[in-house]
Structures are given as C-alpha cells and as structure tokens.
Structure 1
Amino acid sequence: MKTSPLLALLGGALLAAQSWAAPQFTADLDITSFDGTELDANLLVPDTPPPAGGYPAVLFTNSWALDKHQYLLQAAELAENGYLVMSYSTRGFGASGGQVDVAGDNSLADVRVLIDWLEANYPVGKLGLAGISYGAGISLLGAAADPRVDAVAALSGWSDVVEGLYPNDTVNLVWGTLLVNTAFRRDPVIDQIWSDLRSGQNIDGVIEFGATRSALSFVDALNANDTAVLMSNNFADYLFKPNSMTDLYALLDGPKKLLLNPGTHAVTETLGGNDGHIWATSFRWFDHYLKGDANGIDSEPKVDMTVRISNRLEQFADFPVTQNSSTWYLHPRLTYFNSGSMKGSPYGGWSWSNSFHGGADTRAGTGIPVVSDALEGFGIPVYTNMLGINGYYAIEYNSAVQWSTLKIRGTPTLELWIKPSKPEVQLQLHLYDTGPLGLGRLITHAPVTLHNAEVGREQKISVDFFTTSYDVPPGHVVTLAIDTEGLIYQKPADTNYQIEVPYRSSRVSRLTIPHL
C-alpha cells in the first residue's frame, strides 16, 4: 500500500508533536485553606491519561524562607514520568497568606486541604509527600496525621525540634537566629519560644511546643498508617543532626530507608551533592511505593552511608551499621603544654587531675559556621592547626597512631568525669583526625551545657557525638579536643569558670568509637 507524501508529512508532524508533548503546567493556583488563608501553589499534570487507579501524586513542601518554586526541576521530572505534582508555599512564606507556625496545627491542616483539592479535581492514586528541611518536617508530620499519605521523602528534616535548637541543653545560636530572622510573617509565639530558650526560662513550655511539632511524638501513627518513609540527613548538619533521624528510623516498623551524607543542612540536597544520589533514590522510592514499579528498592540495604571527604557510598542492612567498637580511656597530661593520651586500658597511676578554663575560644572549633560544613559536602576538607589547641583554655587527648585505616561508622560516645567551679558551664567536644604535621580534620563534635551543676563536686557526664562516617588514614591519630566555646552555640553569661578532670580508678573517663 502506497502512502502519499502528504499523509507521510502529517504523520511525521503528529509523531513530532507527540514526542515534544509536555506535562501541563499551571502556575499561581490560589487554594483556600480551612480558615480562609490563601495558599499559593503550582501544578503539573502528566500529558498521559491516568492509570486505572489514578495518577501517582506527589505534594512538595518548601524549605524555610523559600516558596513553591523550589522544586520545579524535580516536579517536572516526576510529571514527565507520569506523576501528578503539586508544589506549594507554606503559610507565611512566598505568596501564601497567614503566619509561619513552625509546622503547627494550621500548617498540617493545610496539607489535608491540598490533598482534598487534588482528589476533588483529579483522579489521584497513591500519594507521597516530599520536601527539604521545613518541608521534610511537615511531610513527616503530615503523613502521621493523614492515612492517605502512602510514602514520604524527608530530606534534611527533623524528628525532634528541641534537639535541633537545644542539643544537650545548648542553645543553637547561629541556626536559631537565622531561622527566626528569616520568617518575616511569623506567629508571635515563635519569638516567645526563642526568647525563653535563649534566657533559659520556661524550658518545659519550649519542650511542649517542640513535642507537638516532632515526628518522634507520632511514630505510632506513622506505623499504623504503614507509611513508606525515606529520610536523608547530612553529617555536618548542625541544625537537624542525623542522630534524631536515626532515633526515628529505629522506631519505624514499616518500609523505611535512611541516607546519611556529607555536607551541611539542606545544601547537599539543594545543590545536587552526593552525586545526585539523594534525589535519584527519592524518585526510585516513589516509583516503587506510589507507582508500583518493581525496581528492587524494597529489597536493597536499608542504610546508604556516604563516607566523608572521599564521598564513597556504602550500603548496610540496618542502623547501627556495625556492632564493633573500640574504647579508649583518658590519661592525664603533665602540663598545659602537653597533651593527654587515650589508651586501651584505664589510668592506673596516682590520683591526678587536669584543669582548663572558660573565657576564650580556641582552634578546636567547627570552622566557619555553614560555610566549612557546606564545603565538606563536595569533598573539600577544612583543616585546623592542632598545635594551637592544648593549653589553659582547652585540653586534648591523642590516641596511638593508627597503622591501618580506622573506619568510623556511627555515633561515638564520651563518658567524662568533671568537677566544675560554677553551676553553669559548657563543654565543646571535638573528635579530630590529626596527621603527622599536626593538621587536623574534624570528624565530629557535640556541645553540652550544664545549667545546674554541683559546684566543686566530681560528676560524670555522658554525651553522644553527632553521627558520622569517616576514615582515619594510616599514620594518623584520633584527637579528642575539649574547650568551652564555639561559634555556633550560645555561651553561658559567665565564662569565668574552671573545669577539672580527675583521674583514678573510680573516676574512669572513656571514649567509645564504633567502626567497621
């Protein structure tokens, strides 16, 4: 059968038009929420007919201080793959009305309204929530509150608000100030909570405020809903540390996956760090749990951990990723000019003590807040001169030289005996990888503040460092450096204090490091 040139031309045009067809994009949707607040959203509808069960759908929630435009690239990719996708600006941000309430009742009610709107206007199949930072927290809480949510991708999110802003009773000054000052249309309660936290007043009220906004409080609901939960957090995220997300992960009974990455808060996901692994895995998560694709993600290892600096991806069956650990015991320094040591057996000598003082920061810091941590996500290490730490305002302890690679994986812990001279004291704890030339790279850190310490009495504190993945090379040592101030955290009003560290058989201080 012959085909005329005209028909061939028309057929080619139709094929070309079909190949260039794109999802329908609707900008500037105004959707009225339960209380009359206008929510600004955009929508992408696939150019293909809905499947029998309806379109798989994803609702994106913006990060703090950003808006509905944040996920245009990700939304377009999903829509081209057959998803119905909505992105919106949470109340108080972008062109949406209302006030920022830190994932409060109004924000969660907005999520339900938006899902209602999607279902009223389109055939919706299984539905997922996704977002970075603020969007991640709302996604987790929204999934707990609404059983219609089948899957979540929570990136750089939190499971415990108070742990983020008040780790180990220490005010997270840089991040807290940044958050408060970038929410221009905020509920006045936010200022009150931040003021109470900074002044140490009404801490019970702060904890209650945070509990209603923390996914850890709603684990039972997530489990009852059988929500498929993917979480991604970054090792140098000093706002929402990986620790609280590993706590949430351990309590989830349904489908779950945990990604732990280099870099700082939200930057790794936003700038496509970790070689795009985070978003690629999130899309595969939705493809399986929303579209039903048999892509194998449900049978893969549950934990993806990328080693800091080298950016090498490792996969593990579960978290904790290892049951192996080494315990090193703290031994004293002789003078301010010497370092203490960490050995495989407890100190057995004469009763001894070392002291260091508040009143000054030292080189035992975490680099330039946000900037140094962001560089790490792209494999650019930040060094400090360890020779400038030990002395009157700090103390450090060195391990023996590691003759093989020490593959730290997980959450180091420290049990430390101290005798403080004031009721309020702060310790900044740092683990460093120190090379032969005395240059150190930060492995992890943790702050701790005692607000009602017993003055002049020896007491033991136990602190979890922030979860990490780091390879200490052969020929290097692990250094525990302790001082009393850090650029990220609010210091006590009175910094004129002394910390004494005792050593004897009944006062054993120890560092435990999990490793492969």
Structure 2
Amino acid sequence: MSGLRMRTLAVAVVAGVGATLTIAVAPAEAAGTPHVRAGETVPVYSYENAVRESVWVQTTLDNDDDGVPDRVAVDIVRPREAADKRIKVPVVLEASPYYSCCGRGNESELKQYDANGTITKQPLFYDNYFVPRGYAFVAADLAGTNRSTGCEDVGGREEVLSAKAVVDWLNGRGRATYADGTPAVATRWTNGKTGMIGKSWDGSVANGVAATGVEGLETIVPISAISSWYDYQRYNGVLRAEDYPEYLHQAVSGRPESVCDATLKELDEGSDDATGNYNAYWAERDYRPDARKVHASVLIAHGLNDTNVTTAQFAQWWNRLRVPKKMWLAQQGHVDPFDIRRAQWVDTLHRWFDRYLQGLRNGIDREPAVSIETAPGTWVNERTWPASAARSVKVALGDGDGTTGTLGGRSGSGSRTWTDAPDLSEATAVAAPNTAVPGRVAFLSAPLSQPVRISGTPSVKLRVQVDKPTTELTARLVDYGTATRVNYVAAGEGITTLTTESCWGASTAADDACYRDTVENVITSDHAILTRGWQDAAHRVSLRFVTPLQPGRWYDVTVPMQATDQRLAAGHVLGLILQASDNEYSTPQSTGATIKLDLRGSSLTLPLVGRLPAPGATAPTVPAAPAATRLAPQKFQPLLP
C-alpha cells in the first residue's frame, strides 16, 4: 500500500471516532472533478464506453518527397463521460515505431482495429488503467511506421518532430483530420497537459521531444531509453554492428518498397561505418546537449545490466537534467519495471502522472529520488545518484607475479604485452584470472576486508604502445565471489514469465488489462561482470576524427566504462580484465595489433564508497568454478532498441 493510501486510511479511521479534521483539498478536487477523490485519481469513467478514434496529425516535414506534408497516425482512447461534461483531461502519450511490426511489452502486443479502422486494442495497460481515472491515452505511429506517412529516420529530425507535432496538436498549435478529411480539434477534450512514456525506442523519442522544449509536455517516463544514438550504435569509435541504422529502419518501416530509398541512403552515408566518427548525422541524434531545454519532469527506469541500451544512456542524461526527476535502477537487463516490481511500479507511475499531469500534491516529488535494486528483490531508496558518498579513487596497476597483476598500492614498474584475439569470448576472458590467457591481461585486488560500492562511471587510463595505426581496447570490471545474482544474460534478461496473470485496469472483449506475471530469474554464480567499456585507440583525441597511432610511440588512451551501481561483499575480489577487440558486444574491426601496456603510466579510476584493501605482493588466487555457475552472454546480434 502506498504512503498516500495509508495516510488516506488513517484519516478515515480518525474521522470515524469523532475527530475534527481540516484537509487541504487538491486543485482538481476543489473544482469538483469527479475522477479525483482524497488527493488521487480514481476509476469512475467507463473504459468500455470510452471514445475510440483515429486522427492524422500534419507535420512540417516531407521526407518521403511526395509533395504532401507527412502525417502521423494517432489512435486515441478517452473517457466519454468527461467529454460529455466538458471536463478536459490530460494525455498519456506513447509514440512508437513498433505498433505493427514488433509489438510492445513482454507479450509483444500490437494495435488492433475493427473493420471500419477504429482502434479496438492498444498495447500495454496504460489506456486500461488511466482512462477510467480521467486521462486520455494517445498512441502515435512515428513517421514512416504503421499508418503514418513519411520515412523513419532512426532518432533523427523526422522522428522527433513527428512526435512533437502530436504534442503541438494536443495544445491547439497543430492541424489534424479524421479519415474522412474533416478537422479534428483536440482542445475540445484535452487541457493539453501531456506526459510521454515508453520503453527503449519509444522512451528515446520521449527524450528527444523533451529536448525540443515543446510547450505542453509536462513529464516524460523514459524506460531503458536512448539519449545519444551515437552511443547506442558506437562505443567510442568502436562499431557495434554494420549497417545498423538501415537495419532498424527496415525493421519498423510501414511504407511501400522504394518509397524511402533516399532516407536509407542518408542513413547509410550519414552513419559513416567506415570511420566510426561522431559527425553532424550523430549530433542530430544526440539529445544530451539540449538537456537544458527540458522543462518536463523526468521519471527514468533502467536496468543496471542492460547490454542493449547501455547504462551511459541514462547516466549522462540524468546528470544533465535540471528538472524534478526520479529514477529506478534494477539488476535486470532490458526489462520494463512493470515486469520486475509490478505493483510498486504501477503505484509510482499513477502518483507521478497524478502529480505532474493532474496537479495533485501527493508528495511524490518530496520522496527519495532514486530507488536501486542492490541484490535480487532488495531495494534501497536514496536522495541522489551517483551515491553522495562516492569519491573518485585512482587505483594503480601493479605487476604482481608478472602474469596476474594487482589493483592498488604503488604503480608497478612492469609491463604487459598481448595480441588482439578477436574470437576471445567474455566468458573465457574473465574466467581463471590467475592463469595466462592469450589476448587478455588481468589485475586483481586483495580480498575485500569490508563491503564496497561502485556508484557512477569508472574508467581506465592505459599507457600503450601499439604496432598498428589503431586497435580496439576493451575493459571489464569483475566481482569475483560466489553470490546469488539476477541472471540477466539468460532469455528474459533477468525475469521468468509465468502462466498466471494479474490485471491492471478495466477490460473489454477486445482489450483486456491482464498480463502474465513474472518473477526474477536468479542464479548462484562465482562472479559477475560489473561494467564494461570500449574505445577505439585512434579516437582517443576526439570522436570527431581519427588520429592514427605511430608504432613505437607511447600513448595515453582512456577507456570509459558504462555507468553502474553495484555492491561487492567482504571477502570478494575486484578484477580488471583488459583485452583488445570484443566479438560479443561489438562487430570487431580487428587490426591484429600487439599492445604493450606500461603499468606505471596506467590506472583505474573508480567512483568508490569504501576502500580497497592494500594489495599484497601478488594477486590472490581466485578459484576456478564449474562452467555451469558462470554468466556467459551470447555473441552480439543487431538488436531493436
């Protein structure tokens, strides 16, 4: 039960014994709004009888070059009784490319229509839950997808502005028509206050629209979302997959063949696989520099072990935002919090929208801003992120026994040399760190004398000589020690879907609000990858251009790792594993380079709460565990965000 509901119950009990209370009335409740009671929205409107309609919103663009402004297809479910009483309601908006190709949610739901083209089923529970509570739910097909015209440009201007056009229309600044061409006027039924929500690509659109500063967008809820498409498809100059933007476009496109050939060409040429450079194409798809334009409140949810939309996406966005914000960080991979902690998430989402779309002062903005899953099923609330107690700690790399190095103490005077082994798997690279493995080097801390926490973005500075003009460099932080952990590398990325269902809202025969229950997939493993990082050495100076290395010269190359928040138990050992190219999380452009690492000029930087123990002269022995207890990912394949 939420704190708000507990306080409401307490008021009722006290009032029942004759106490006299003065209760502050929320703005909407004071105005006699029927869907607001005791400071929260309640289900009073019929979902079955709701208005279901489709409109086409006109944009200012024409990237399919047919001489007609591109139009965005918008499917709406809104409370009929509110409209009949001339009560204007706010909007929950999800703009997505997935409504006809791939589906939404754990059960991959698609939009469905009747014979007349009227929407009968919207994916997910948002309309089922929120429409009876005095919200409209609006699902927009991004330009070039499903029933919209234009061409999907994968994070670009067309995509963002097509969704922005819907917000403008909801606020009376745009034009739309019904299928028969008659005008559709949103301001007859909505007050324009809009909240955008979505997981993955959908949440990325919400970030992009918020970064335009559009008026009327009051809040966004980006779940496992992208804030920089360069960082989604490149790792500091390292190619994630060849022809990735073109693949994404073709996966979601709803246009006839050849209509969008010009856009495909622009995606191919602009993304520039040949160099991996950050250029004007990627700058258009980077929302972070415009975080200062965001005036909407932001509720972020992300998996700390998300290897699809990696954690730099939330971390760099979160740190730039200067608006009311809140965040959930779970131990899963690319998973919606609805399938991790369902009841608590629905309650949080309900209260968040009530606060920022209905104007109800329910206190959610005064609660701890960050909720973090520290171990399977264990959550803590904190004031901010990264942890306020985290300090940047520089950790030296020691020579150890000449094979396995040490973490901490004085910088070692030795060196390490290895040759790129593009077929070296992560499982092999991190296993048995006390033995020599071709293509990787390992450094270990002493066993921890007390628990420590890594909260933020680690990095490793490597002083290297390379015998080729460039090489890819990969770094991993590993927690060596047996523990019960979320099995995020398995199918489901940390959850198991059950056969039972639970229902979250009202239903019709065509659109029920019931979804299969889930539980965390938990495994006992001997180690865990805490975070990973990649860097193309020729992009060490700038991501905008290549600066080749000269054989025989020493260079400093920093490998930034993905943001994380993980706790290591006493007795565990922290490991740093270095290799060159990585065939599981990228498409290696291996040069076959041999790398020499100067230990004295290299170091690991950790955002640390607590202390690492002083190292011994040699690294501790980490027992090799059976392969069955290791978390081993599969080779990378192009993914839909």
Q: TM-score if structure 2 supplies the norm length?
A: 0.66
Contact 1:361 1:484 in 2 (8 A): no
State the Cα distance separating 1:112 from its structure 2 match.
4.1
Q: Is the aligned partner of 1:332 residue 2:399?
A: yes
Listed one character per residue, the Cα deviations across residues 144-166 of structure 1 (whole Å, up to 9, x for unaligned) are 33212111111122221212211
1:165 maps to a residue whose letter is Q
SS in 2 for 1:39: strand
| 1:81 paired residue number | 133
Find 2:221's aligned residue among 133, 145, 153.
Answer: 153
SS in 2 for 1:433: strand
Contact 2:154 2:249 in 1 (8 A): no
Distance 1:363 1:117 in 2: 50
1:251 maps to a residue whose letter is R
State the Cα distance separating 1:294 from its structure 2 match.
2.0
Listed one character per residue, the Cα deviations across residues 350-380 of structure 1 (whole Å, up to 9, x for unaligned) are x42111111343343599xxxxxxxxxxxxx
Q: Is the aligned partner of 1:54 residue 2:88?
A: yes
Q: Is the aligned partner of 1:218 residue 2:284?
A: no
Does 244-253 or 54-63 show the bigger shift? Answer: 244-253
Does 144-153 or 18-27 show the bigger shift? Answer: 18-27
Q: Is the aligned partner of 1:130 residue 2:197?
A: yes
| 1:353 paired residue number | 415
Does 43-52 or 295-304 show the bigger shift? Answer: 43-52
1:248 maps to a residue whose letter is W
Find 1:317's aligned residue among 368, 383, 388.
Answer: 383
Listed one character per residue, the Cα deviations across residues 94-116 of structure 1 (whole Å, up to 9, x for unaligned) are 23333111243333343344335
Q: Is the aligned partner of 1:478 residue 2:574?
A: yes
Among all aligned residue pairs of Structure 1 and Structure 2, give the percentage whose two residues are the same amino acid: 19
| 1:490 paired residue number | 587
Question: In 2 relative to 1, CA 167–201 (structure 1 residues): closer, same or farther, beyond 3 Å?
Answer: closer
SS in 2 for 1:509: strand
Distance 1:468 1:366 in 2: 23
Distance 1:26 1:63 in 2: 24
| 1:509 paired residue number | 603
Q: Is the aligned partner of 1:39 residue 2:72?
A: yes
1:359 maps to a residue whose letter is A
Question: In 2 relative to 1, CA 197–72 (structure 1 residues): closer, same or farther, beyond 3 Å?
Answer: closer
SS in 1 for 2:222: strand
Q: TM-score if structure 1 supplies the norm length?
A: 0.81
Map 1:54-203 → 2, pairs under 5 A: 54-62=88-96, 66=102, 69=111, 71-118=123-170, 119=172, 120-121=185-186, 122-125=188-191, 126-145=193-212, 146-173=214-241, 176=244, 179-180=248-249, 182-184=251-253, 185=255, 188-190=262-264, 192-194=266-268, 197=271, 199-201=273-275, 203=277
SS in 2 for 1:435: strand
Question: In 2 relative to 1, CA 250–385 (structure 1 residues): closer, same or farther, beyond 3 Å?
Answer: closer
Question: In 2 relative to 1, CA 416–154 (structure 1 residues): closer, same or farther, beyond 3 Å?
Answer: same
Contact 1:358 1:498 in 2 (8 A): yes
Q: Is the aligned partner of 1:21 residue 2:46?
A: yes
| 1:245 paired residue number | 314
Q: CA RMSD in A?
A: 3.2
Does 248-257 or 480-489 show the bigger shift? Answer: 248-257
SS in 1 for 2:426: coil
2:277 maps to a residue whose letter is I
Structure number with the bigger relative contact order (C-alpha 8 A, sep ≥ 6) is 2
Distance 2:599 2:404 in 1: 15
SS in 1 for 2:333: coil
SS in 2 for 1:392: coil
Contact 2:534 2:560 in 1 (8 A): no
Contact 2:56 2:73 in 1 (8 A): yes
Q: Is the aligned partner of 1:230 residue 2:276?
A: no
Listed one character per residue, the Cα deviations across residues 204-234 of structure 1 (whole Å, up to 9, x for unaligned) are 5xx3122223221322321xxx321222222
Distance 2:319 2:268 in 1: 30
State the Cα distance separating 1:66 from its structure 2 match.
4.1
Does 76-85 or 356-365 show the bigger shift? Answer: 356-365
Q: Is the aligned partner of 1:261 residue 2:358?
A: no
State the Cα distance separating 1:489 from its structure 2 match.
0.7
Listed one character per residue, the Cα deviations across residues 421-476 of structure 1 (whole Å, up to 9, x for unaligned) are 11110111111111279942111111111132232222222232111122222222
Find 2:450's aligned residue among 391, 404, 425.
Answer: 404
SS in 1 for 2:447: coil
Find 2:478's aligned residue among 401, 425, 432.
Answer: 432
Distance 1:449 1:479 in 2: 22
Map 1:447-462 → 2, pairs under 5 A: 447-451=534-538, 452-462=548-558
Listed one character per residue, the Cα deviations across residues 24-83 of structure 1 (whole Å, up to 9, x for unaligned) are 445562414234444333221125426987212111112555467364312221112210
Q: Is the aligned partner of 1:283 residue 2:350?
A: yes
| 1:446 paired residue number | 533
Distance 2:419 2:434 in 1: 15
Q: How many residues are treated as equivalent by the alignment?
A: 467
Distance 2:401 2:551 in 1: 25
Contact 1:324 1:515 in 2 (8 A): yes
Listed one character per residue, the Cα deviations across residues 226-256 of structure 1 (whole Å, up to 9, x for unaligned) are 3212222222233433324322222222212
Q: Is the aligned partner of 1:303 residue 2:370?
A: yes
Distance 1:200 1:161 in 2: 17
Contact 1:137 1:215 in 2 (8 A): no
2:570 maps to a residue whose letter is P
SS in 2 for 1:424: coil
Question: In 2 relative to 1, CA 134–287 (structure 1 residues): closer, same or farther, beyond 3 Å?
Answer: same
Contact 1:38 1:96 in 2 (8 A): yes
Distance 1:187 1:194 in 2: 11
Which runs of no fewer than 5 residues in structure 2 stay unpaired?
1-42, 60-67, 104-109, 112-121, 173-184, 484-524, 539-547, 611-641
Question: In 2 relative to 1, CA 112–483 (structure 1 residues): closer, same or farther, beyond 3 Å?
Answer: closer
Contact 1:132 1:156 in 2 (8 A): yes
State the Cα distance separating 1:321 from its structure 2 match.
1.6
1:346 maps to a residue whose letter is S
1:144 maps to a residue whose letter is A
Contact 2:311 2:563 in 1 (8 A): yes
Question: In 2 relative to 1, CA 128–489 (structure 1 residues): closer, same or farther, beyond 3 Å?
Answer: same
1:137 maps to a residue whose letter is S
Contact 1:175 1:488 in 2 (8 A): no
1:447 maps to a residue whose letter is W
Distance 1:419 1:89 in 2: 50
Distance 1:275 1:304 in 2: 14
